[in-house]
Amino acid sequence: MTVVLRSPQEFKQWRKKQSGSVGFVPTMGALHSGHEQLLKTARAENNIVVLSIFVNPTQFNDPKDFEKYPITWDADLKMAQNNKVDAIFYPHAPDMYPDNYRYKVTENEYSKTLDGAHRPGHFDGVLSVVMKLFNVVSPTKAYFGEKDFQQMRLIQGMVESFFMNLEIVPVATVRESDGLAKSSRNVRLTQEQRALAPAIYKAITTSKTADEAAQALSAQGFKVDYVTDIDNRRYVAAFLGEVRLIDNVQI
Ligand code: AMP
């Protein structure tokens, strides 16, 4: 049975009654097989599995992106049930921000690079909401996708810096058969854009340099935010129309 809990207080009451390890998968919903891989990994490693679904307003620097973020509650619930999720935490925004976001978590170096350089305030929103979610859920382990590699690393750093009592488990990026990283935003692509989108993965895996990959994408009509190599990893962010796609690979 999958229970759905809507407020932090309600969730904490439920949490007190659980025993054994708790594996936690935080998401913004519109679940796909990438999220499912996190749920399966959490299920294999823990007594209890918790999924959260919260489209976090503070991490959207672009209001249009927030408004258009897909919501697919019925399918999400089904996926949770199929994967034997014990509880879904599905809060309302005002309940997550009783302070109206007066308090926030900020990292001042790595979060200002790559995606952070192009999305002002984004990682403050991410770190703040993840801190809140960890405090509500009290997980033993929390699962994050390598698709959002910078996010995963920043959360690992936060956990170390604040001596938080949980382990962050990275999970490899799940891709479509044509290489495109699965993303909730993919459903917003037109048919034509969807056909073009795998060029991102192709460019970052086959180009010799980051610049070469950026040029290849620009030539195909992408608006490239960045292609950057750091520590044996190549990161990319590029727009197709209004949809911003990100990816990264080890090089
Ligand atoms: P989101 O709902 O997009 O915020 O993602 C929730 C979690 O799922 C994050 O830890 C993401 O990194 C992870 N995730 C999203 N897409 C993928 C994917 N294609 N492969 C693996 N993990 C993913």
Candidates 2.40.70.10, 2.60.120.200, 3.30.160.20, 3.40.50.620; CATH matching 3-171: 3.40.50.620
Distance of CA 125 to the CA centre of its chain: 12
The predicted pLDDT at position 121 comes to: 97
- Tell me the best of 24, 25, 27 to mutate to test the pocket of ligand 1, counting ligand atoms within 8 Å of each CB and taking the most: 27
- Tell me the best of 25, 31, 38 to mutate to test the pocket of ligand 1, counting ligand atoms within 8 Å of each CB and taking the most: 38
Q: Copy the structure tokens of residue 62.
A: 């672009």
Q: How far is the CA of 143 from the centre of ligand 1 (A)?
A: 9
Closest CA to 240 of 175, 177, 176, 183: 183
- The answer to whether the CB of 174 is under 6 A from ligand 1 is yes
226 phi and psi, to 5 degrees? -165, 150
- The answer to whether the CB of 34 is under 6 A from ligand 1 is yes
Cα 166 from Cα 45, distance rounded (Å): 14
Q: How would CATH label the architecture of 184-250?
A: 2-Layer Sandwich (3.30)
Cite the residue boundaries of each domain of the chain with CATH code 3.30.1300.10. Answer: 184-250
- The answer to whether the CB of 56 is under 6 A from ligand 1 is no
Parts of the chain with a pLDDT under 70: none
The predicted pLDDT at position 174 comes to: 98
Cα-based distances in Å from 95 to 69, 129, 132, 236: 20, 12, 11, 34
Cite the residue boundaries of each domain of the chain with CATH code 3.40.50.620. Answer: 3-171
To the query of whether residue 35 is one of the catalytic residues in this protein, the response is yes
User: Given the CA of residue 143, which atom of ligand 1 is nearest to it?
Assistant: 10
pTM for the full model? 0.97
Cα 81 from Cα 250, distance rounded (Å): 34
Cα 116 from Cα 149, distance rounded (Å): 12
Closest CA to 85 of 2, 5, 10, 169: 2
- The answer to whether the CB of 145 is under 6 A from ligand 1 is yes
